[in-house]
Amino acid sequence: TYILAIESSCDDTSASVMCNAKVLSNVVANQEVHSKYGGVVPELASRAHQQNIVPVVQQALAQAKITKNDLSAIAFTKGPGLMGSLLVGTSFAKSMALGLNIPLLDVNHMQAHILAHFIDEEGSKKPNFPFICLTISGGHTQIVKVSNYFDMEILGETIDDAVGEAFDKSAKILGLPYPGGPLIDKYAQLGNPKAYSFTKPKVGDLDFSFSGLKTGILYFIQKQQRINPNFIEENLNDICASIQHTIVEILMDKLKNAVKQTGIKEIAIAGGVSANSEIRKRLINAEKHFGWPTYIPKFEYTTDNAAMIGITGYLKYISNMHADINVTAKARLKVTE
Ligand code: ATP
Ligand code: FE
* 103 Cβ closer than 6 Å to some ligand 1 atom: no
The CA distances from residue 12 to 48, 106, 230, in Å, are 9, 18, 35
Query: DSSP strand E in 179-327: where?
Result: 267-270, 294-295
Phi, psi of 81 (to 5 degrees): 165, -165
Output the CA 272–ligand 1 centroid distance in Å. 3
pLDDT digits (tens, 9 = 90+) for 246-280: 999 999 999 999 999 999 999 999 999 999 999 99
> Is residue 139 annotated as involved in ligand binding?
yes
* 272 Cβ closer than 6 Å to some ligand 1 atom: yes
CA 243 to chain centre: 20
The bridge status of strand 22-30 relative to strand 131-136 is unpaired
Output the CA 189–ligand 2 centroid distance in Å. 24
pLDDT of 32 above 90: no
Q: Phi-psi region for residue 79, left (φ > 0), alpha (ψ -120 to 50) or beta?
A: left
Q: How far apart are CA 243 and CA 73, in angstroms?
A: 44
CA 205 to chain centre: 23
* 136 Cβ closer than 6 Å to some ligand 1 atom: no
pLDDT of 36 above 90: no
pLDDT of 332 above 90: yes
* 182 Cβ closer than 6 Å to some ligand 1 atom: yes
Q: Going by CA atoms, what residue is nearest to atom 15 of ligand 1?
A: 138
* 79 Cβ closer than 6 Å to some ligand 1 atom: no
- Nearest bound ligand to the CA of residue 180: 1
CA 134 to chain centre: 11
Q: What 3-state class would DSSP assign to 99?
A: helix
Q: Which residues contact 172 (CB under 8 A, 6 or more apart)?
A: 38, 178, 180
Output the CA 140–ligand 1 centroid distance in Å. 9
Q: What 3-state class would DSSP assign to 249?
A: helix
> Is residue 212 annotated as involved in ligand binding?
no
Q: Which residues contact 131 (CB under 8 A, 6 or more apart)?
A: 145, 146, 264, 266, 267, 268, 295
Q: How far apart are CA 275 and CA 162, in angstroms?
A: 15
Q: Going by CA atoms, what residue is nearest to atom 7 of ligand 1?
A: 138
> Is residue 263 annotated as involved in ligand binding?
no
Q: How far apart are CA 302 and CA 121, in angstroms?
A: 14
pLDDT score for 57:
98
pLDDT score for 285:
98
Q: Going by CA atoms, what residue is nearest to atom 29 of ligand 1?
A: 181
pLDDT score for 30:
86
Over the chain, what is the mean pLDDT? Answer: 97
* 297 Cβ closer than 6 Å to some ligand 1 atom: no
> Is residue 276 annotated as involved in ligand binding?
yes
Full DSSP string of 129-195 = SSEEEEEE-SS-EEEEEEEETTEEEEEEEBSS--HHHHHHHHHHHTTPPSS-HHHHHHHHTTS-TTS
Q: How far apart are CA 333 and CA 253, in angstroms?
A: 27
pLDDT cut 70: percent of the chain above it: 100
* 10 Cβ closer than 6 Å to some ligand 1 atom: yes
pLDDT score for 39:
84
* 185 Cβ closer than 6 Å to some ligand 1 atom: yes
pLDDT digits (tens, 9 = 90+) for 59-111: 999 999 999 999 999 999 999 999 999 999 999 999 999 999 999 999 999 99
Out of 78, 83, 303, give the residue to mutate to test ligand 1, the one with the largest number of ligand atoms within 8 Å of its CB. Answer: 303
Out of 167, 274, 276, 277, give the residue to mutate to test ligand 1, the one with the largest number of ligand atoms within 8 Å of its CB. Answer: 167
Q: How far apart are CA 165 and CA 184, in angstroms?
A: 12
pTM, to two decimals: 0.97
Q: Going by CA atoms, what residue is nearest to atom 30 of ligand 1?
A: 181
Q: Of ligand 1's atoms, which has the minimum distance to the CA of residue 163?
A: 18
* 201 Cβ closer than 6 Å to some ligand 1 atom: no
Strands of the sheet with 73-79, listed across from one edge = 22-30, 12-19, 2-7, 73-79, 104-108
Q: What 3-state class would DSSP assign to 278?
A: helix
